[in-house]
Structure 1
């Protein structure tokens, strides 16, 4: 294995309380803390560990979005990525970008840099689509291993443990391949101050979707974005009989 391409999405920080815009067209993103998507952070960490084991020789981080995505890429570089590609998309166009658009860019980038592995987080915490890895694999016609919790390279094959509803599944994937990182794959490292300083000097290439021949035309219209309904307060019961009675009234039993 020589080169790893890692997808890095800039998302609203997990600790921020999401607010819907007054006009119901989306969520408030202005003046809100953003960070590297937690699952993509795990993907970066896995790529760095591959390099430490001398399985990979170069790590390229890629992010699509406005100029602020450069901060997200600097985080990946500080963690250990060697170089970055920023596919700049203005805010007004980024509102309509879908997983398919990003997948096409990642697939084209993988071919352009001759990547042997594409690693992304299993999902982003903003739209929770969990479909980018699958789409990239389909576009490249590469094997895919999704929701992985363990990866080991043996010869030219990845031995993968992935999480499924019934427990764990062991599979193999021939290289080149696309994998998506699950929560228990690893624990990302904190970037040290020296590495943060070094990240500022690492190369970052700027590109546009046109460089990858990707059309960002919107394929859907947002009708309305609303807050989920608030939960009703619970009810205390005096006895088990009261509980059973209320459950029957609710049609549960």
Structure 2
């Protein structure tokens, strides 16, 4: 079985800054890491490979620096890493990104299962996985919290939607997006880290995909959606009062607040 895991290198969202005028994330303002949800996707793939004979391939679209993220994926259990990187892809929105990813997956060759994280912490759209599935014309399941069973023809999963849990059977090839509840990603061993440092990451550029990829549908100009404005909300602080001496005044104040909030009549 061939399993593809979609990986994205994202900025440290606790430290990153935003360019409100340009409507973009200033990715140079903070360090990078693998999108946390994608680590769950990778772990799910590795666990499947431990049960049935499988090859796990980590695929990422991003700048050349994303090779380090793919090497970490190899240290965590992936067999190989493939980076889709070209200046022509810069500024792609979710549709353009999904177009590029699906084209690259077709270029890579046969696959049985594609696993992606529920969403990315920098975009938070949750659109890439389902859009890739649509472009590849394969079934997909979202918000997967558990893989019940898998064989060469189908995968049975638990999908958490709203307040319900649904048991779904999906024919392969298929794509699933997983939540953080599906597993706890294991840490790579020192031995695997050292081995992954020497791994060769295959690079796919636009020239490699131009036979089935329209230049007018990728990058900033090929993106139908644009970020008009970014607003970072101010953090509201909790307000409080301290009564040290006048206890009756404190009680009266609390009663008035409860009445105002209609907690008591």
Matching of residue 124 in structure 1 with residue 129 in structure 2: no
Q: Which residue of 2 aligns with 1:241?
A: 255
CA contact (8 A) 2:43 2:183 kept: yes
More helix by share: 2
Quick one: which of 223, 231, 235 aligns to 1:230? 235
Q: Distance in 1 between matches of 2:207 and 2:121?
A: 27
CA contact (8 A) 1:110 1:118 kept: no
Give 1:21-170 correspondences, 5 Å limit: 21=19, 23=21, 25-56=23-54, 58-90=55-87, 94=90, 96-112=91-107, 113-151=109-147, 152-154=149-151, 156-170=153-167
Cα drift, residue 23 of structure 1: 4.3
Cα drift, residue 137 of structure 1: 1.4
Q: Distance in 1 between matches of 2:127 and 2:57?
A: 21
Helix, strand or coil for the counterpart of 1:178?
A: strand
Per the normalisation by structure 1, the TM-score is: 0.87
Q: Deviations over 1:155-204 (max 9, x none)?
A: 52111001111131111101000001111111111111111121133331
Per the normalisation by structure 2, the TM-score is: 0.83
Q: Which residue of 2 aligns with 1:179?
A: 176
Quick one: which of 190, 215, 224 aligns to 1:219? 224
Bigger radius of gyration, 1 or 2? 2
* Structure 1 stretches lacking a partner, 5+ long: none
Cα drift, residue 229 of structure 1: 3.2
* Structure 2 stretches lacking a partner, 5+ long: 242-249
CA contact (8 A) 2:6 2:115 kept: yes
Q: Distance in 1 between matches of 2:4 and 2:100?
A: 12
Cα drift, residue 228 of structure 1: 1.1
C-alpha change, 1:145 and 1:218, in structure 2 (3 Å) is closer
Q: Which residue of 2 aligns with 1:201?
A: 198
Q: Name the stretch that deviates more: 2-11 or 22-31.
A: 22-31
Helix, strand or coil for the counterpart of 2:120?
A: coil
RMSD of aligned residue pairs (Cα, Å): 2.3
Quick one: which of 7, 13, 17 aligns to 1:19? 17
Q: Which residue of 1 aligns with 2:247?
A: none
